[in-house]
Amino acid sequence: MLPAHSGFGRNYGRSLVIAQQGVVATSQALASQAGAQILAHGGSAVDAAIAANAVLGLVEPMMDGIGGDLFVLYWDAKTQKLRGLNASGPAPRALSPAFLAKHGETAMPLSDIHTVTVPGAVDGWAKLHQRHGKLAWNELFAAAIAYADQGFPVTEAIAEQWASPISFERLSSQPESARLFLADGNPRRQGDIFRNPGLSRAYRCLAGGGARVFYEGEIAAAILKTSQRLGGTMTAGDLASFSAEWVEPISIDYRGWRVYELPPNGQGMAALEMLNIMEASPASAEGPFSPAEIHTRIEAMKLAYSDVYRYNADPRTCAVPVQQLLSKEHARERASLIDPQRANGQVSAAEVTGSDTTYLTVADREGNIVSWIQSIFSNFGSGITVEGMGFVLQNRGAGFTLDPAHPNVLAGGKRPYHTIIPGFMERGDSHIGFGIMGGPNQPLAHAQFVSNYVDYGMNLQQALEAPRFTKLGPAGCDVLIESRVPEATRRQLIEMGHDLAVRPEYTQEMGRGQAILHDSRTGTNYAASDPRADGAATPEPIVT
């Protein structure tokens, strides 16, 4: 008989996936499998990511698709270099605060044709494939086309999102969306077989004609027809002129690890500033779920978010003070504002001069890593389905403000504040692609993941599964927190002034993450997939 203290067991659910071959980690098992099959047929990490992303656009239509934007961090194992791609599209040139005012809008709408910005994802796919692809472009859409034609069973977490009040309201308001995504006027339920012949048609167009079909060909024509019918301002020139942009990542050192995000117009700098503020004091000796640790994380989040909400915008149109906001001196100044005994509900931005999403990550057998995030913004985006093409247009324009004094004010040809952010971190031989989606939740979820891994020695799966908190903005003391945080901790946080709303053990409100670590010394990949989603980390099968 084994002794009671034998050491068997663990305090998290899923095992790490460990393989010497490539691995694909996504939020839906069919997408992970499609990407792994691409790797098995000689595809690169980028090839697998495109194939997986195409399937995700079908199986998670409320989250992502070719009507949305894309951001990617790409780690090249041979050159040991990390590069970024910003494939987010601008507002139509004719859209302006004055135009909206004429139509009775006093604030940016949350969902209608005037929230639709140029979808950047497909051009992003093409630029990545041109530089890092191995297989032919048309081979990457086979699984997505087959599932669109044959159908697939709607899975548990996806059904939950499909049935949300926001999803139902947006789909019901648009006849084409209601026809495609509702069944007899009701949301698709878990186990329902969903087919999307329109999206199959769109993918066949892309596979046969290349990415420019989306911006100048048959798909572009369908987008413009849909927009014009609803009074939108998008033109053929808006679509045809779009080009994704290669960018240099931004980074900080966090207790010996280099942590990377993409620069604005994304909100990645909030994650880095939050980590900097957390680093100004030691991690709590009482552990990651202690009142002191969670209090510090919450207060650091408020300070970092107040800064990013004040200064983040499209850097092509104004100067964003990234260097100042990410300096250690700025972090120490902000950290000095944290009262270790009391929550602060009146946080304001520093004076500085100068969502719903799908995340996936892939490492191939050569050690190349993509950290890849793609989105149509909130549930079912604008709610507008492109006629005959089976995909929804994003409502990313809702990220603008109409305040003329704010750097993120709406302007034609300008990219809005973006919530979606891929993450990457490295130290020595360890290189990690990671991401946790979910609108404004993402930077604070990134910081919690990094701290769990770096400060408390968790492995990737444990760090993803660990209970999290979230907060939608810096104002107030309201915090959403999972019930797995110990009751004694929650009670003390309330005594410190935090207004806690307790959520179930694993809730999608905390985001849904994926992570892969490549050990360049051994060539081994370690992968994790968040149980808050329907996904899996799937290793590349060996073809015999």
Q: What is the C-alpha separation between 68 and 309, in angstroms, rounded?
A: 22
Lookup result for tokens 């604070």: 444
352 pLDDT band (50/70/90 cuts)? low
> Residue 3: what pLDDT?
47
- Assess contact for 24 and 365: CB atoms under 8 A: no
Domains of the chain listed by start with CATH number: 16-267+312-319+354-468+511-544 (3.60.20.40)
What is the mean pLDDT of the segment spanning 161-176? 94
Choice among 357, 385, 470, 538 that is catalytic: 357
Q: What is the pTM of this model?
A: 0.96
The 3-state DSSP class for residue 54 equals: helix
The 3-state DSSP class for residue 177 equals: helix
Q: Cα angle vertex 389, ends 385, 395, to 5°?
A: 30
> Residue 354: what pLDDT?
44
Q: What is the C-alpha separation between 419 and 421, in angstroms, rounded?
A: 6
> Residue 215: what pLDDT?
98
544 pLDDT band (50/70/90 cuts)? confident
Query: Residue 486, class by beta-carbon neighbours within 10 Å (0-12 exposed, 13-18 middle, 19+ buried)?
Result: middle
Q: What is the C-alpha separation between 420 and 88, in angstroms, rounded?
A: 10
Q: Is 357 a catalytic residue?
A: yes
In the predicted structure, residue 156 carries a pLDDT above the cut 70: yes
| Sign of the C-alpha dihedral computed for residues 230, 233, 236 and 240 taken in this order | negative
List of E strands, 451-490: 469-470, 478-482
* Chain centre distance of CA 458: 22
Q: Tokens at residue 388, please? A: 């005959």
> Residue 355: what pLDDT?
54
> Residue 7: what pLDDT?
62
Q: What is the C-alpha separation between 101 and 459, in angstroms, rounded?
A: 52
List of E strands, 400-466: 423-427, 430-437
- Assess contact for 334 and 303: CB atoms under 8 A: yes
> Residue 353: what pLDDT?
52
Amino acid, res. 450 = V
In the predicted structure, residue 4 carries a pLDDT above the cut 80: no
Q: Tokens at residue 498, please? A: 């935090």
194 pLDDT band (50/70/90 cuts)? very high
The string of pLDDT tens digits covering residues 58-86 is: 999 999 999 999 999 999 999 999 999 99
For 138, list phi and psi in degrees, rounded to 5: -70, -15
What is the mean pLDDT of the segment spanning 316-324? 94
In the predicted structure, residue 94 carries a pLDDT above the cut 70: yes
- Assess contact for 357 and 375: CB atoms under 8 A: yes
Lookup result for tokens 């460990």: 18
2 pLDDT band (50/70/90 cuts)? very low
- Assess contact for 434 and 449: CB atoms under 8 A: yes
Lookup result for tokens 């073809």: 543
Q: Which residue has the higher pLDDT, 8 or 451?
A: 451
- Assess contact for 122 and 212: CB atoms under 8 A: no
The string of pLDDT tens digits covering residues 410-429 is: 999 999 999 999 999 999 99
What is the pLDDT of the chain when averaged over all its residues? Answer: 95
The string of pLDDT tens digits covering residues 488-521 is: 999 999 999 999 999 999 999 999 999 999 999 9
| Sign of the C-alpha dihedral computed for residues 45, 47, 53 and 56 taken in this order | negative
Q: What is the C-alpha separation between 483 and 298, in angstroms, rounded?
A: 16
- Assess contact for 362 and 369: CB atoms under 8 A: yes
Half-sphere exposure of 78 (CA within 13 A, CB side): 4
The 3-state DSSP class for residue 279 equals: helix
> Residue 409: what pLDDT?
97
In the predicted structure, residue 56 carries a pLDDT above the cut 70: yes
Rg of the chain in Å (alpha carbons): 22
Query: Residue 8, class by beta-carbon neighbours within 10 Å (0-12 exposed, 13-18 middle, 19+ buried)?
Result: exposed
Per cent of the chain over pLDDT 70 is 98
Give the alpha-carbon dihedral of 516, 518, 523, 524, to 10 degrees. -40
